[in-house]
Amino acid sequence: MASVTHPPITPITPTTPNTDQITFSRTFHPTKSHPFGQVSLPTRKNHLSPLNHSIVISGSALGITAANNVNNNVSNITARPSLANFWREVQGCNNWENLLDPLHPLLRQEIIRYGEFVTASYKAFDLDPTSKRYLNCKFGKKRMLSEVGMSNSGYEVTKYIYATPDINLPNMSNPSFSSSSGRWIGYVAVSSDEAVKRLGRRDILITFRGTVTNQEWISNLMSSLRPAMLDPYNPLPEVKVESGFLSLYTSDESSSKFGLESCREQLLSEVSRLMNKYRGENERLSISLAGHSMGSALAILLAYDIAELGLNKKKSNKKTATEVVPVTVFSFGGPRVGNSEFKNRCEELGVKVLRIANVNDPITKLPGVVFNENFRVLLGGKYEFPWSCSCYAHVGVELMLDFFNVQNPSCVHDLDTYIGLLRRPKNDEVLKQQFDGVNSLLEKAREFLSGSQTMKILPGVVTACNYHDLLNSVSRDIVCSWSDELLFGLVLLLL
């Protein structure tokens, strides 16, 4: 065997940095940035340090090769943990502390994975007015994931979810289809036995698509605050949420003899069934929710509802002990959902929300562009404005992205672009392909607001409104919400 002669190793003095860890200067950028797309994270004040969980990521894991290795032994570098041993941290048990700056590889992987599940709901949604499955899923539950290219996801769809807009409008595309009928809005899935080994637990997943139909857009514009009061035994009237989201979540087809239950009833029934099914298996469970735009608002509402009702609690082997199953929301481009009391209550209940947001995305600024969590108090918190209870507040921890394309402004809210940036594409063409994705939502919004059909619809909306509700809307909520929607409409028309 040929021998290898190594150059003499210079003894390391106390002032020499440890080469087992890689420290980068603030001016060093591991990946190439692009003029219209990059991940923007806060600058660290200190050098790269190990995480609280004693995880040291090798340079190769970051796509960087060290020039010299004194020990010439890669086995001395601690490998990153497997998801099976690290899933609780990824699900936010420590509020993602030390995982966002820099973005941990496992967390990045999981964010992308959950984003792809939301993308599947867009791909499977039938928007062809001539189709028999119009405004429903194109495929059956058993083959839905495989039809959208996710046959190896390791999840099995158990239930489709429908939401009924509480707005009756004429359907211009398909007059035979009732505008008050339920629309397919997402699905519930469960990880398979094989996937449990990789994930480290049984994962109950609920995903929601974003706004697509005209009725859903109008529901989004109904942004006055209303008490949630989802728990009849503990109503908490001070906890308020956006009325449009709440209506979409709780409305049903009560006018029809064989109508659908509300989105809420469908979801709580299925979550309870799955919790009971896996309650006695002595295995670890998690409840994960993912949504884009309006879908992220529904995901947060459901997460709060589950925790408020205690559906995420199961008895352990001990007679008196109760295990709390973690409830985590991965929100992509989501708006604000409720007031500060709603935010505080979610935190009290242990609901974890990771908000992936683009700094240039107008949807993430709504509702409450001006009157929000940053405009509630004066002089460092000494004084609180009288309208503070009507100010919207974001829930959870934020992971901020930064991308914009002058040639296609609607990309700022596009889910495909969100996922594409998280994958850090190596060239502009990859991002360019993302702009022509399945859910260029702002483009659809602009068409809706500027289209001639909208002008025909809006008078019907005003006529159908209950005048008592309209007068009630002229309150301090109007200052905090309606101005946002006017600004939102102007932004879309200008785009």
Q: Of 429, 439, 479, 482, nearest to 210 (Cα)?
A: 439
Catalytic residue from among 166, 252, 305, 361: 361
Residue with tokens 């003499």: 8
Q: What is the DSSP letter of 62?
A: G
Known active-site residue 394? no
Whole-angstrom Cα distance, residue 243 to residue 307?
A: 20
Known active-site residue 413? yes
Q: Of 146, 341, 370, 105, nearest to 235 (Cα)?
A: 341
Catalytic residue from among 293, 296, 390, 440: 293
Amino acid at 397: V
Angstrom distances, CA of residue 302 to CA of 120, 216, 219, 293, 360: 20, 18, 17, 15, 27
Q: How do beta strands 285-292 and 202-208 pair?
A: parallel
Phi, then psi, of 237 in degrees rounded to 5: -65, -20
Per-residue model confidence (pLDDT) at position 302: 98
Is the previous residue joined to 102 through a cis bond, with omega within 30 degrees of 0? yes
Q: Of 27, 473, 490, 487, nearest to 242 (Cα)?
A: 473
Angstrom distances, CA of residue 306 to CA of 138, 160, 227, 313, 325: 29, 18, 17, 9, 10
Give me the residue spans of the domains in the chain.
88-494
Known active-site residue 34? no
Q: Which fold has domain 88-494?
A: Rossmann fold (3.40.50)
**CA-angle at 29, arms to 103 and 23, nearest 5°:** 75
Q: Of 369, 343, 360, nearest to 400 (Cα)?
A: 360
Task: Please report, in tens digits, the pLDDT of each residue of the chain (495 residues total).
Answer: 444 444 554 444 444 444 333 333 333 333 333 333 333 444 434 433 333 333 333 333 333 333 334 344 433 334 568 999 999 999 999 999 999 999 999 999 999 999 999 999 999 999 999 999 999 999 999 999 999 999 999 999 999 999 988 665 555 455 554 555 789 999 999 999 999 999 999 999 999 999 877 666 666 666 689 999 999 999 999 999 999 999 999 999 877 777 789 999 999 999 999 999 998 766 799 999 999 999 999 999 999 999 999 999 987 666 667 889 999 999 999 999 999 999 999 999 999 999 999 999 999 998 887 666 666 555 455 555 555 567 899 999 999 998 887 677 778 999 999 999 899 744 443 344 444 444 444 455 445 445 545 445 444 444 444 444 433 443 334 344 444 444 445 444 444
241 and 228 Cβ atoms separated by less than 8 Å: yes
Per-residue model confidence (pLDDT) at position 186: 97
DSSP string, 267-283: HHHHHHHHHHHHHTTT-
Q: How do beta strands 313-315 and 322-324 pair?
A: antiparallel
Q: What is the DSSP letter of 265?
A: H
Angstrom distances, CA of residue 247 to CA of 48, 85, 337, 364, 444: 46, 40, 12, 20, 22
Instruction: Name the strand (E) or helix (H) holding 314.
Output: strand 313-315
Whole-angstrom Cα distance, residue 31 to residue 145?
A: 32
Token pair for 430: 């990859």
Token pair for 357: 């947001």
Per-residue model confidence (pLDDT) at position 323: 87
Bridge partners for 289 per DSSP: 206, 329
Tell how far CA 249 is from the center of its chain.
16
Bridge partners for 160 per DSSP: 187
DSSP string, 341-369: HHHHHHHHHT-EEEEEEETT-GGGG-S-S
Token pair for 74: 């890669």
Token pair for 106: 């496992």
Is the previous residue joined to 81 through a cis bond, with omega within 30 degrees of 0? no
Per-residue model confidence (pLDDT) at position 256: 74
Amino acid at 121: S
Catalytic residue from among 153, 413, 477, 484: 413
Instruction: Name the strand (E) or helix (H) holding 397.
Output: strand 397-403
